[in-house]
């Protein structure tokens, strides 16, 4: 099963590697990892996407929770979470194929952020699935470079009510 683990930590040096270390020790492959400041500048939210055995994951979360600099750990259920990821993708596209690429971008709501004689750079934020779908359609044009942030997530308040 795939899980989105959300960890709130005190913004101290070394916390990130400590948290990640506990996952790697139990041979969890981290699929994506994103860290950024929260509404409190001294608190960072780390969002980790992992796949693996629930029992072991439960154990790892308890161990993460034990760290002095960790304030809160939660397993966000996909269905009850708002998940987003940002990608910047540079696609090979000369004058002939440019239109086709821009059409795909429009369908997915991606923005064109740069263009050269033979490339277009797109920016897309969305769910991981939306990103994957667009990447699949862009592949035939040859993707030159891609950067992705990894998933960030918050629990969906409306589904809690």
Partner 1 sequence: MKISGSKIFLQSLKEEKVKHIFGFPGATILGIYDCLFDDPDIQHILVRHEQGAAHAADGYARACGKPGVCLVTSGPGATNIVTGVATAYMDSIPMVAFTGQVPTSMIGNDAFQEADIVGITRSVTKHNYLVSNVKDLAATIKEAFYIATTGRPGPVLVDLPKDVLLDETEFHYPEQVSIRGYKPNYIGHPKQIESALKLITKARQPVIYAGGGVIRSGAMEELLSFVNKAKIPITNTLMGLGGVPGDHPLSLGMLGMHGTKYANFAVTQCDLLIAIGARFDDRVTGKLEKFAPNAKYIHIDIDPAAISKNVRVHLPIVGDARLILQKINKSIVPGDYSAWIEQINKWKKEFPLSYKKSDKVIKPQYVVEQIYDLVKDKAIIATEVGQHQMWVAHYYHFNAKRILLTSGGLGTMGYGFPAAIGAQAACPDKIVFDIAGDGSFQMVSQELATAVQYGLPVKIAILNNQYLGMVRQWQELFMNRRYSGTPMEYAPDFVKLAEAYGAVGLRAEKPQEVREVISKAVSIKKPVVIDFRVEREENVFPMVPAGAGIEEMMLP
Q: Which residues bind partner 1 (CB under 8 A)?
A: 9-10, 13-14, 17-18, 21, 25, 55, 58-59, 62-63, 65-72
Residues whose CB falls within 8 Å of the CB of residue 7, separated by 6 or more in sequence, listed in order: 19, 45, 46, 47, 48, 64, 70, 72, 73, 74
Least distance in angstroms from the C-beta of 31 to partner 1:
23
- Closer Cβ to partner 1, 70 or 124, answer by number: 70
What count of residues does the chain have? 161
Q: What is the nearest approach in angstroms of partner 1 to the Cβ of residue 122? A: 38
Of 50 and 131, nearer to partner 1 (C-beta) is: 50
Looking at residue 79, the DSSP 8-state letter turns out to be G
Residues 29, 19: Cα–Cα separation, whole Å: 13
Q: Which residues contact 125 (CB under 8 A, 6 or more apart)?
A: 84, 85, 86, 87
Which CB, 26 or 98, lies closer to partner 1? 26
Q: How far is the CB of 4 from partner 1 (least distance, A)?
A: 21
Which residue's CB is nearer to partner 1, number 48 or number 87? 48
**Least gap, CB of 18 to partner 1 (angstroms):** 5
> 21 or 140: whose CB is closer to partner 1?
21
Cα distances (angstroms) measured from residue 118 to each of 23, 90, 125:
42, 10, 24
Least Å distance, CB 104 to partner 1, is 45
Place of tokens 């994506």: 32
């Amino acid at each position: 099963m795939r899980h989105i683990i959300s960890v709130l930590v005190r913004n101290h040096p070394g916390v990130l590697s400590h948290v990640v270390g506990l996952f790697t020790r139990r041979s969890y492959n981290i699929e994506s990892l994103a860290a950024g400041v929260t509404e409190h500048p001294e608190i960072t939210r780390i969002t980790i996407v992992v796949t693996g055995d629930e029992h072991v994951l439960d154990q790892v979360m308890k161990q993460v929770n034990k760290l002095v600099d960790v304030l809160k750990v939660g397993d966000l259920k996909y269905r009850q979470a708002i998940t987003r990821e940002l990608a910047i993708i540079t696609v090979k596209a000369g004058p002939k194929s440019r239109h086709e690429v821009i059409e795909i971008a429009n369908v997915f709501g991606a923005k064109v952020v740069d263009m050269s004689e033979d490339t277009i750079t797109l920016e897309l934020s969305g769910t991981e699935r939306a990103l994957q779908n667009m990447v699949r359609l862009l592949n035939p044009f040859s993707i030159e470079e891609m950067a992705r942030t990894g998933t960030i997530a918050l629990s969906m308040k409306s589904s809690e009510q």
